[in-house]
Amino acid sequence: MKKAYLPILAITILAFFFFPSCQRNEKMTAGQKKLKVVATLFPLYDFARQVGREKIEVNLLLPPGVEAHAFEPRPADIKRIQDSDIFLFTNKLMEPWVGGLLKGIDTTGFNIVDTSKGITLLQRTDNHGDEERAHADESGNADPHIWLDLSNAMRMVDMIASQFIVKDPRDKDFYAKNADEYKKKLEELDKKYKNTLSYCRNRVIVHAGHFAFGYLTKRYGITYVSAYKGFSPDAEPTPRRLVEITKTVRKYGVNYIYYEELAAPRVANVIAKETGCGLLLLHGAHNVTREEMESGVTFISLMEKNLENLKAGLQCR
């Protein structure tokens, strides 16, 4: 009879240790459930991962190397958005396809976040690079590249953190602390930009890319001249515009032409050949290449490199 009790005793002992362990694992799994976040552009993707860290799973909607203005979402992208907890986009002018996409799907399962909320957009005028602040309209003249003003970037970080807290209020202190730490880094970078760009021999940027740096140049008091009249890289500059740019280069003694990321610098090469200028990259951070992504590039590291190139091109102390 004693032998008959041995298997039962063994099972009881195993159950005592095993089942609490299972319960602990179940609780751990539930506790480790991450917020699923989809971000349209690289700045939003990077802001999200800085704020959410290990508590979120963030996906960049744009494949590496794809130009933001030319992007068209695929069925797999739409499914990714629907399966998310939070969908981050910049604004309706930067991603005009978002409105149509969201009308065609069930949006009840996730939060839709327009990160430009509360930010006044720059509106481009026709005087070749001088901008004035105005509310956006539907004319296509409003500049959607809001993240390139670092004060706007800080507001976007706050917006993202607030949405994480809405979805995961239990970890509100975690998100708020990370957002504050990251904003301090952005503030330090902003001060570095102000200090560096305050003492430059030249204060005119000639950019042979689409009109993207109005916010940055406005913030630091630099004249911005773009070869492209619009915000889309498809709007090729006219021969007359290239002649105007060449005259501007010579008038202000510009030594470098800036070109944009993810696009062949054909226009920059034409202007450089005509004027004898050198070439420098000015990265808009819309998206990054696969190599940049694999190397761990961040929004701040891109902006630090931009400052180095601005310092060289504008001959700053």
Contact present, 37 and 57 (Cβ < 8 Å): yes
pLDDT tens sequence across 212-246: 999 999 999 999 999 987 665 556 788 999 999 99
Separation between Cα atoms, residue 46 and residue 60, nearest integer Å: 9
- We find that the CATH architecture of domain 199-313 is 3-Layer(aba) Sandwich (3.40)
Confidence of residue 210 (pLDDT cuts 50, 70, 90): confident
**Mean pLDDT calculated for residue range 276-293:** 96
Mean pLDDT of the chain: 86
Number of Cβ within 10 Å of residue 33's Cβ equals 11
What whole-number distance in Å separates Cα of residue 288 and Cα of residue 114? 21
Rounded to an integer, the average pLDDT of 178-184 is: 98
pLDDT at 46 over 80: yes
Q: Give the integer Cα–Cα distance in Å for 300 and 59.
A: 19
The neighbour count for residue 80, using CB atoms within 10 Å, is 16
- Report the alpha-carbon distance of residue 168 to residue 34 in Å, rounded: 9
> Do the domains spanning 32-192 and 199-313 agree at the CATH topology level?
yes
**Mean pLDDT within 113-125:** 89
Predicted TM-score (pTM) of this structure: 0.85
Q: pLDDT tens digits for 30-43?
A: 456 899 999 999 99
Superfamily of domain 32-192: Nitrogenase molybdenum iron protein domain (3.40.50.1980)
Longest dimension (CA), the chain: 106
Residue of 143, 150, 146 lying closest to 116 (CA atoms): 146
The residue extents of the domains of the chain are: 32-192, 199-313
Is 80 exceeded by the pLDDT of residue 15? no
